[in-house]
Amino acid sequence: MSQAKYKLIADYIRSQINKRKWLEGFKIPSEMELSELFCASRMTARKAVDLLVHEDLLKRAPSIGTFVNPPRAQSSLLEIKNIKDEIIERGHSHDMVVLSKMTLTPNTKVAFELSAFETKVFKIVILHLENDIPIQLEERYVNAELIPNFLEQDFSHITSSEYLMEVAPLSNAKVMIEAIIPSKILKHHLKLDDNTACLKITRTTFSENVPVSLGYLYYPADKYRVTSQLSVN
């Protein structure tokens, strides 16, 4: 299959950045230079740059040039996106390691959030890797009555979000973002040193206003941040 020329140019720029040949603040070749380099018209080179500006990888400064933005995984709070899609969109590899699976009687907090006072809940702990580097530890509780086959899924291939989306389409969610000092076990799984904090996102998801799942998502603070654009009107 053949790629569009502007995608080839974008891939080239992306790879220079990923390979750290072009670092933060680097002024990339001008649109004219790119178009000559790839025997393309300026509009085509420009389209490649447009793509990466939209991905927040580059930033334009009119009359001056186009520059590499600071690196870092980013995520928009607004979108209900799972970590896998986010990683794939960045063109990186995504892998999962299932650390544990169990059925249990929920503690007060979990029971309250899931309105699971009468039923058991399933718990899974999954480590998500981006290019083989830990990026998220997912600790998830699911109402066992609502999603009876949850534990039988192969969570090294399908994400919990994907499976839940299939069986209980998401209608809304409640999100909380906190900063924490990582516990020993978190430091171990996320390979954190003593100088790195941890971002904790707690997300309760609802299907038709019934709480289905509660997830505690832990991220290494040096590799992950949440971003959001907002506008008045």
Partner DNA sequence: AAGTGGTCTAGACCACTTG
Query: What residues line the site for a second copy (CB under 8 A)?
Result: 25, 43, 54, 59, 61, 64, 67, 70, 72-75, 77-80, 108-109, 112, 115, 117, 170-181, 195-200, 219, 221, 225-233
By CB under 7 A, is residue 111 in contact with DNA? no
Shorter beta-carbon distance to a second copy: residue 149 or 227? 227
Q: How far is the CB of 151 from a second copy (least distance, A)?
A: 26
State whether residue 89 is helix, strand or coil: helix
Shorter beta-carbon distance to a second copy: residue 22 or 155? 22
Shorter beta-carbon distance to a second copy: residue 174 or 188? 174
What the block records as the tokens of 174 is 């409640």
R_g over Cα of the chain: 21
Phi-psi region of 183 (alpha: psi -120 to 50; beta: other; left: phi over 0): beta
By CB under 7 A, is residue 119 in contact with DNA? no
Member of 6, 22, 155, 219 binding DNA (CB under 7 A): 6
By CB under 7 A, is residue 154 in contact with DNA? no
Instruction: Please name the residues in contact with 86: beta carbons below 8 A apart, sequence gap of 6 or more.
Output: 73, 75
Pick one of DNA, a second copy, none as the site partner of residue 175 (Cβ within 5 to 8 A by kind): a second copy
User: Among the candidate windows 41-49, 153-161, 170-178, 209-217, which touches DNA by CB under 7 A?
Assistant: 41-49
Name the residue type at position 83: I
Member of 33, 89, 145, 166 binding DNA (CB under 7 A): 33
Q: Which of residues 45-74 bind DNA (CB under 7 A)?
A: 46-47, 60-66
State whether residue 38 is helix, strand or coil: coil
What the block records as the tokens of 191 is 């390979």
By CB under 7 A, is residue 1 in contact with DNA? no
What the block records as the tokens of 19 is 């390979």
How many CB atoms sit inside 10 A of residue 141's CB? 25
What the block records as the tokens of 185 is 């076990």
User: What is the spatial distance between Cα 126 and Cα 155, in angstroms, rounded to a whole number?
Assistant: 8
Shorter beta-carbon distance to a second copy: residue 10 or 73? 73
Using CA atoms, how far residue 186 sits from 5, 91, 216, in Å, is: 43, 26, 12
| Residues engaged in binding DNA (CB under 7 A) | 4-7, 28, 30-33, 39-44, 46-47, 60-66, 117-118
